[in-house]
Amino acid sequence: MNRSFKIICFISGLAVIFLDQLSKYIIQAKIPAQGIFLVNGNSLNIALAPVSNASLAFGLKVAPFFTNILFILVLGLLILWAISLYKKNERKNLLLLTLIAGAAISNFIDRIRMGGVYDFISISFDNFYWPTFNFADTIITISVLYLLIKTIKNNSANSGIKKTL
């Protein structure tokens, strides 16, 4: 793997941190506390509802001291798992790991600066409400899902089981 690709990965991780922190800054500056801005008020509502989320993930409540400890532990295990998937010839894995790390660092910046992660995107559909999230959460979720699906497909192919995802 050449040095220029590693630099691109590093810059991509920094870009995630910058874009996530910028999006949070803009929302905090433009929308009053607990204000809601409806993007589509019909069946799909996307509301920007600023929330400082001191929970671990998806609203899981634990004591504030343990929240940061558990967050770091889960993040560390996730990164170790992801690194175990990394193969030298798979550049996409390195890029995804860098994006995950950038997003996790951005959320950790929130935890240190504000005592919780600043979430502001809330999606609902009829009576279904998804937990409030932010840009970094989206990057982490998409990257981890991609790596998970890729791992399942590779394991299925290596074990002789033919499955389509």
List of residues 6+ apart from 78 with CB closer than 8 A: 100, 144
Long-range interactions of 5-9: CB distance < 8 A, separation 24+ = 5/91, 5/94, 6/94, 8/95, 9/94, 9/95, 9/98
Query: Which of 20, 110, 119, 126 is flagged as catalytic?
Result: 119
Which tokens go with 84? 């175990």
C-alpha 10/C-alpha 22 separation (Å) is: 18
* 115 within 8 A of 64, measured Cβ to Cβ: yes
Q: Is 119 a catalytic residue?
A: yes
Query: Which of 20, 110, 126, 137 is flagged as catalytic?
Result: 137
Active-site residue list:
119, 137
